Amino acid sequence: MALPKHASPLEKIWHYCYLVICGLIFLFLIAPILIVIPLSFNAEPYFTFTEKMLSFDPTGYSMRWYDLLLTFGMQAPDVARDGSWWSDAWQNSAWIQAAKNSVIIGFFSTILATVLGTLAALGLSRPEMPYRRAIMAILISPMIVPIIIVATGMFFFYSQVGLANTYIGIIMAHATLGIPFVIITVTATLVGFDHSLTRAAANLGATPTTTFFKIIMPLILPGVISGALFAFVTSFDEVVVVLFVADFDQQTIPRQMWNGIREQISPAILSVATILVIVSIALLTTVELLRRRSDRLRGISQS
Amino acid sequence: MADATMGAAPTQAQPEQLTTVDGKPLKAALMAAQAKARRRAFLLVLPLLAFVLVTFVAPIGQMLHRSIHNPGFTEHTDLSDGTQTEIMVNLRGWFDANPPGTEPDEAAYEALVSDLVLLRELRAQGAVGTRINYEAPGTRSLFTKTTRRAERLEAPFKEAILDIDEDWADPQLWRVMRDASSAYTLNFYLAAVDLEKNSEGDIVSVNENRAVYILLFQRTLILSLLITALTFILGFPIAHLLATLPLKYSNILMIFVLLPFWTSLLVRTTSWIVLLQSQGVVNDTLVASGLVADESRIQMIYNQTGTIVAMTHILLPFMVLPLYSVMRPINPSYVRAARSLGATSWTAFRRIYFPQTVPGIGAGALLVFILAVGYYITPALVGGSDGQLISNLIAFHMTNSLNWSLAAALAALLLFGVLALYWLYDRLVGIDNLKLG
């Protein structure tokens, strides 16, 4: 958006004002996410920059809140840090337990959502699909319906069929919430999919299964993986359904954070937040690389 | 696909019906092939559709049923072995035999006492009292108190019961019991919009100090509109900047929009608590710069301001992404043409550029509004008391007051609103055009 040479002074002033405004809005977007990173290294139990931190005094910074993440909930946190200390942490640390649960639930719900969602997206993007619009609307609706309504409905239903307080119940619930993302990303990949490729494969004697795995799958794989990542993030960040459907000892990272924020907010929350921000940066990078690869594969060039 | 013999020879007078090699009429063969293709496509979707119907549609349908069905006054389920017992049989018989508005007579009180005796055996008086208490506040203790002495009561029952508590004569109580004697009722919907039936059965507004739900629906609407407007005001300039910059720069700036989108909701909410609380970064900066005195730090979190700021931040990407995807393909030569024809830059923007972005504005605004109306997590964590939305009230009735039918009725009203907007979104934008980054 270069300013033309003939711009009047007023236009020039407005142009720079506009750039400053945009800069401030970008700051509004990104600052809250980045601010937690330095604060999580605070040596004091405060949520603000201490004077020592501002003057970059090393004693103002510490890893104590990250350490607390490991030791919180351990049976003997104060003994020497040898093998048994680490196994104690692995077995009993509340945050590690929560992380394990989150990963297990996220992993299986992602698999479920991705497999079912990809199949459905293949069907939905065929031109002869009947009732396409209505079915699509139903499949996307878990993203639109307020989460409290979903959680309430699932609470009653799962208690009745005996799925409440089980991992299977939470996995099914999270898969349902992740499905819209898989459908959206995979159908987006299938837009402009060259169907003459599948016909060519069939013409050369490939069975439908061979065609799927050798021709379709490699082409849509980037979309499938980004859909899977979306589904995983959805599950990994979900707290309301877990609060309603899960058992008390089925803690997940978001639930643990939720409790932490509601009861006694401590900088340990900030260190979890920092770890999660780093995870999301990694995920964002992966998805972006996948998107570019997908565009290249499909011949949509991007300068 | 079946191979068609394009058969009719030009010399033949009567065009022969087109057939495939195996002799089937071509039309039928094509129809069969198409039906097969449709079935195939549908079979691919079927597993997911079945899964979503079971795990999502059925639970919500069942919850909606709960909003009109509450058997608290008609049957009792034993929690230990699950046996169901019909309760209040005699009283319900009396209600059936007498039209609404009949003054309860000795027979009615006799029926009541015999039912209360059964309640005592089942230990169900608390549950029944709670059910009546939903609609006639302050009556739960009547049931527990009277049931305790029900066995020892003797005729005439009317005087005996009124002896225990005068409130039993309240016509409103009898109206509520009559309504509750049928498990199906619309009274929870009335309660969800601050209405109730009076003792004559007419629908009236509830007492002003009990009217909370309309107020909360209003607040939810106003805050959602405000947040939608804010995301538009903040989103439009940056979407425009992203759309007009060369791709290599805009791809980098896009990270600023996508990173919040990918970051955990709880992390973003936590960040706002850290920034805005009275000992937080923003207040500290203001105090250090001398703009605000140390003792008058601004309360920006745990109130409506907190909800608005945090939700605007969280929903901003949902506005920027649709705007960006509409703005990117806009041809800059239109604006240039307008300028060269003598329009000022403001006129060119207002008359030429802005109208072309309207579809993006519609898509973004609808999406943000739909998501904002049902928001739960952020208001619950940073909303304090005046920043709560309707979702938080549903959660309150689910987990604290345990009035599940009222929670379901409120949820149903919210759901219908959201589904109407969703339908509108599908009409105007199309769900296929939903983009994620």
C-alpha A87/C-alpha A85 separation (Å) is 5
The amino acid at A187: T
For chain B, give every domain's residue range. Answer: 16-68, 72-210, 213-433
pLDDT band at B422 (very low <50, low <70, confident <90, very high): very high
Distance from the Cα of B220 to chain A's closest Cα (Å) equals 13
Nearest to A156 among B63, B313, B426 (CB): B63
| pLDDT over 80 at B3, yes or no | no
**Within 13 Å and on the Cβ side, how many CA atoms surround A125?**
21
Structure tokens at B397: 């009735």
Which CATH number goes with the domain that contains A205? 1.10.3720.10
pLDDT at residue number B209: 81
Size of interface A-B (CB pairs under 8 A): 266
Question: Reduced to 3 states, what is the DSSP secondary structure of residue B85?
Answer: strand
Structure tokens at B230: 């804010």
| Partner-chain contact A145 B377, CB within 8 Å | no
pLDDT at residue number B1: 41
The 10s digit of each residue's pLDDT in B226-260 is 999 999 999 999 999 999 999 888 888 998 999 99
Q: What is the mean pLDDT of chain B?
A: 87
Q: Who has greater pLDDT, B199 or B330?
A: B330
| Residue of B45, B242, B258 to mutate when probing chain A, most A C-beta within 10 A | B45
Q: Is residue A89 part of a domain?
A: no
| pLDDT over 70 at B16, yes or no | no
Measure CA A14 to chain center: 38
Distance from the Cα of A83 to chain B's closest Cα (Å) equals 32
| pLDDT over 60 at B9, yes or no | no
What single string gives the DSSP state of each residue in B12-56? -SSPPPPEETTS-BHHHHHHHHHHHHHHHHHHHHHHHHHHHIIII
Q: Is residue A146 part of a domain?
A: yes
Find the mean pLDDT for residues B327-338. Answer: 91
C-alpha A8/C-alpha A23 separation (Å) is 23
Within 8 A of B49 by CB-CB distance, chain A residues are 120, 135, 138-139
Number of other residues whose CB lies within 10 A of the CB of residue A155:
21
Which residues lie below 8 Å from residue B216, measured CB to CB, with a gap of 6+?
Answer: B388, B389, B390, B393
| Partner-chain contact B269 A138, CB within 8 Å | no
Within 8 A of B374 by CB-CB distance, chain A residues are 145-149
> Whose CA is closest to A189, among A106, A276, A299, A85?
A299
| pLDDT over 60 at B12, yes or no | no
Question: Reduced to 3 states, what is the DSSP secondary structure of residue B318?
Answer: helix
Running DSSP on this structure, what letter comes out for residue B351?
I
Q: Is residue A27 part of a domain?
A: no
Within 8 A of A236 by CB-CB distance, chain B residues are 264
Contact B266, A257 (CB under 8 A): yes
Within 8 A of B41 by CB-CB distance, chain A residues are 123-124, 126, 128-130
| pLDDT over 80 at B75, yes or no | yes
Tracing tokens 């619950």 back to the chain, one arrives at B380
DSSP lists the bridge partners of residue B184 as B69
Structural domain count, chain A? 1
pLDDT at residue number B14: 55
pLDDT at residue number B178: 87
Within 8 A of A117 by CB-CB distance, chain B residues are 48
| pLDDT over 80 at B437, yes or no | no
C-alpha B54/C-alpha B276 separation (Å) is 42
Distance from the Cα of A268 to chain B's closest Cα (Å) equals 11
Number of other residues whose CB lies within 10 A of the CB of residue A78:
8
Which residues lie below 8 Å from residue B318, measured CB to CB, with a gap of 6+?
Answer: B231, B364, B367, B368, B371
Q: Which residues 11-30 in chain A show a CB within 8 A of chain B?
A: 11, 14, 18-19, 21-22, 25-26, 28-30
Which residue stretches of A125-249 are H helix? 132-144, 147-161, 167-190, 196-203, 208-211, 217-236, 240-245
C-alpha B66/C-alpha B75 separation (Å) is 15
CB-count burial class (<10 Å; 0-12, 13-18, 19+) for B23:
exposed
Q: Going residue by residue through chain A (303 aa), what tens digit of pLDDT does each one get?
A: 567 777 788 888 999 999 999 999 999 999 999 988 988 888 888 777 888 888 888 888 888 888 888 888 888 877 888 888 888 888 888 899 999 999 999 999 999 999 999 999 999 988 888 888 899 999 999 999 999 999 999 999 998 888 888 999 999 999 999 999 999 999 988 887 888 888 899 899 999 889 988 888 888 888 899 899 999 999 999 999 999 999 888 899 999 999 888 887 778 889 999 999 999 999 888 888 888 887 777 665 543
Contact A79, A85 (CB under 8 A): yes
The 10s digit of each residue's pLDDT in B108-147 is 888 888 888 888 888 888 888 888 888 888 888 888 888 8
DSSP lists the bridge partners of residue B84 as B77
C-alpha B262/C-alpha B317 separation (Å) is 10
Running DSSP on this structure, what letter comes out for residue A162?
T
The amino acid at A284: L
| Partner-chain contact B345 A287, CB within 8 Å | no
Within 8 A of B244 by CB-CB distance, chain A residues are 1
pLDDT at residue number B239: 95
Question: Reduced to 3 states, what is the DSSP secondary structure of residue B202?
Answer: coil
**Which value, to the nearest 10 degrees, does the dihedral of the CA atoms of residues A214, A216, A222, A227 take?**
-130
Which residues lie below 8 Å from residue A186, measured CB to CB, with a gap of 6+?
Answer: A117, A118, A121, A122, A220, A223, A224, A227
| Partner-chain contact A149 B394, CB within 8 Å | yes
Running DSSP on this structure, what letter comes out for residue B133?
H
Which residues lie below 8 Å from residue B313, measured CB to CB, with a gap of 6+?
Answer: A28, A29, A32, B260, B268, B272
Taking the Cβ of residue A147 and every Cβ of chain B, the question of whether any pair is shorter than 8 Å is answered with yes
Distance from the Cα of B357 to chain A's closest Cα (Å) equals 17
Containing B196, the helix (H) or strand (E) segment is: strand B195-197
Rounded to 10 deg, the angle between the B213-244 and A9-39 helix axes is: 120
Number of helical H runs and strand E runs in chain B: 20, 6
DSSP lists the bridge partners of residue B20 as B4
Quote the pTM value. Answer: 0.89
Contact A236, A280 (CB under 8 A): no
* Residue A293: domain span: 98-297
Q: Is residue A265 part of a domain?
A: yes
| Partner-chain contact B42 A30, CB within 8 Å | no
| Residue of A25, A160, A243, A276 to mutate when probing chain B, most B C-beta within 10 A | A25
The 10s digit of each residue's pLDDT in B48-67 is 999 999 999 999 999 999 99
| Partner-chain contact B271 A49, CB within 8 Å | no
Distance from the Cα of B130 to chain A's closest Cα (Å) equals 19
Contact A151, A240 (CB under 8 A): yes
Find the mean pLDDT for residues B181-203. Answer: 86
C-alpha A119/C-alpha A126 separation (Å) is 11
Question: Reduced to 3 states, what is the DSSP secondary structure of residue B4?
Answer: strand
Rounded to 10 deg, the angle between the A267-297 and A64-71 helix axes is: 90
Within 8 A of A276 by CB-CB distance, chain B residues are 263-264, 267
Nearest CA in chain B to A4: B336
Question: Reduced to 3 states, what is the DSSP secondary structure of residue B98?
Answer: coil
Distance from the Cα of B100 to chain A's closest Cα (Å) equals 34
Within 8 A of A26 by CB-CB distance, chain B residues are 238, 253, 256
| Partner-chain contact A25 B237, CB within 8 Å | yes
Q: Is residue A131 part of a domain?
A: yes
DSSP lists the bridge partners of residue B77 as B84
ipTM: 0.89
| Residue of A26, A29, A35 to mutate when probing chain B, most B C-beta within 10 A | A29
Structure tokens at B276: 């805005």
- Percent of residues, chain B, with pLDDT higher than 70: 96
Within 8 A of B280 by CB-CB distance, chain A residues are 47-48
Structure tokens at B155: 């005729």
Nearest CA in chain B to A190: B432
Within 8 A of A116 by CB-CB distance, chain B residues are 47-48, 51
CATH architecture for residues B213-433: Orthogonal Bundle (1.10)
Contact B142, B98 (CB under 8 A): no
The dihedral sign for the CA sequence A261, A263, A266, A271? negative
Contact A99, A253 (CB under 8 A): yes
Taking the Cβ of residue A246 and every Cβ of chain B, the question of whether any pair is shorter than 8 Å is answered with no
| Phi, psi (deg, nearest 5) at residue B19 | -130, 165
Running DSSP on this structure, what letter comes out for residue A145?
S
Nearest CA in chain A to B372: A146
pLDDT band at B294 (very low <50, low <70, confident <90, very high): confident
Find the mean pLDDT for residues B281-302. Answer: 86
Residue B355 vs residues A86, A301, B326, B331, B361: alpha-carbon distances, Å: 62, 29, 11, 13, 10
Taking the Cβ of residue A149 and every Cβ of chain B, the question of whether any pair is shorter than 8 Å is answered with yes
> Whose CA is closest to B111, among B93, B126, B137?
B93
| Partner-chain contact A147 B376, CB within 8 Å | yes
